[in-house]
Amino acid sequence: MKSAYSEHLTLSGVDLDCGALVQAVSHAQKIQVRPDCMDQVAKRRAAVDTIVRKGIPSYGITTGVGSQKDFVVSEGEVAAYNLRLVNAHATRIPGPVLAPAVVRAALIVMINEFAQGHSGISPQLLETMIAACNDNEMPQIDASGSVGASDLVPLAQMAVWLLNLDAAKAQGLPKAKETLSLINHNAVTLALGAFAVVELKQQLALFDLVGAVTLEGFCGNLGAMSEAVNQVHKRPGQRASAARMRHHLRGSKLWSPDAARLIQDPLSFRALSQVHGAVAEAADRMEMIWDQELNTVNDNPIIVPDINGAVSHANMDTTRLTLALDTMRQALGKLADLSGERIQKLQWPAFSGLPTGLAENNGAATGGVQFLNLGHIASSLITSMKIWARPHLLISVGQLADGVEDTSGHALHAVHDLQRQLDTGWKVAALEMSIAVWATHRRKIPLDCLGQDVRRSYEAIRPLLPIGTEGEQQFALSEVIDAVKALATSSQQT
User: Which of 113-117, 132-136, 338-342, 448-452 has the least mean pLDDT?
Assistant: 132-136
pLDDT tens digits along 267-305 = 999 999 999 999 999 999 999 999 999 999 988 888 887
The answer on pLDDT for 28 being more than 90 is yes
Residue 1: predicted pLDDT: 43
Residues paired with residue 309 on neighbouring β-strands, in sequence order? 304
The SS3 call for residue 31 is strand
The whole-angstrom separation of Cα 246 and Cα 212 is 8
pLDDT tens digits along 383-405 = 999 999 999 888 867 666 555 56
The answer on pLDDT for 131 being more than 90 is yes
Cα separation values, 80 from 75, 92, 276, 371, Å: 10, 21, 55, 67
Q: What is the mean pLDDT of residues 33-46?
A: 94
The SS3 call for residue 314 is coil
Q: What is the mean pLDDT of residues 36-62?
A: 90
pLDDT tens digits along 149-203 = 789 999 999 999 999 999 999 999 999 999 999 999 999 999 999 999 999 999 9
Residues 6+ apart with CB under 8 A from 165: 128, 132
Strands 30-33 and 8-11: parallel
Q: What is the helix, strand, coil percentage profile of the chain, to 5?
A: 60, 5, 35
Count of alpha carbons within 13 Å of 45, Cβ hemisphere only? 20
Residue 399: predicted pLDDT: 61
User: Which of 114-128, 299-313, 423-437 has the least mean pLDDT?
Assistant: 299-313
pTM of the model: 0.94
Residue 493: predicted pLDDT: 66
Banded pLDDT at 68 (limits 50, 70, 90): confident
Residue 401: predicted pLDDT: 58
Average pLDDT, the chain: 92
The whole-angstrom separation of Cα 155 and Cα 177 is 15
Residues paired with residue 400 on neighbouring β-strands, in sequence order? 405
Kindly give the interhelix angle for 18-26 and 272-293, rounded to the nearest 10 degrees: 80
Residue 100 contacts residue 93 (beta carbons within 8 Å): no
Q: Which residues of 261-272 are buried (b: 16+ CB within 10 A; e: fewer)?
A: eeeebbebbbbb
Burial of 367 per CB tally in 10 Å (0-12, 13-18, 19+): buried
Give percent above pLDDT 90 in the chain: 75
Residue 343: predicted pLDDT: 97
Residue 218 contacts residue 123 (beta carbons within 8 Å): no
The answer on pLDDT for 2 being more than 50 is no
What does DSSP assign to residue 393? Answer: T
The whole-angstrom separation of Cα 81 and Cα 71 is 12
Which segments of 408-491 are extended strands (E)? none
* 491 compared with 256, residue with greater pLDDT: 256
Residue 466: predicted pLDDT: 96
pLDDT tens digits along 94-107 = 999 999 999 999 99
The answer on pLDDT for 450 being more than 60 is yes
Peptide bond between residue 123 and the one before it cis (omega within 30 degrees of 0): no
The whole-angstrom separation of Cα 448 and Cα 454 is 10
The whole-angstrom separation of Cα 440 and Cα 455 is 10
Written as one letter, the residue type at 258 is D
Q: Which of 337, 211, 346 is nearest to 272 (CA)?
A: 211
Q: Which of 102, 156, 108 is nearest to 132 (CA)?
A: 108
Q: Which of 344, 93, 294, 279 is nearest to 192 (CA)?
A: 294
The number of residues making up the chain comes to 494
The answer on pLDDT for 311 being more than 90 is no
Banded pLDDT at 66 (limits 50, 70, 90): low
The answer on pLDDT for 20 being more than 90 is yes
The answer on pLDDT for 313 being more than 90 is no
Residue 338 contacts residue 273 (beta carbons within 8 Å): no
Residues 6+ apart with CB under 8 A from 334: 275, 278, 279
Written as one letter, the residue type at 474 is Q
Kindly give the interhelix angle for 272-293 and 319-346, rounded to the nearest 10 degrees: 160
Question: In terms of DSSP H, where are the helices of 35-77?
Answer: 35-54
The whole-angstrom separation of Cα 196 and Cα 190 is 10
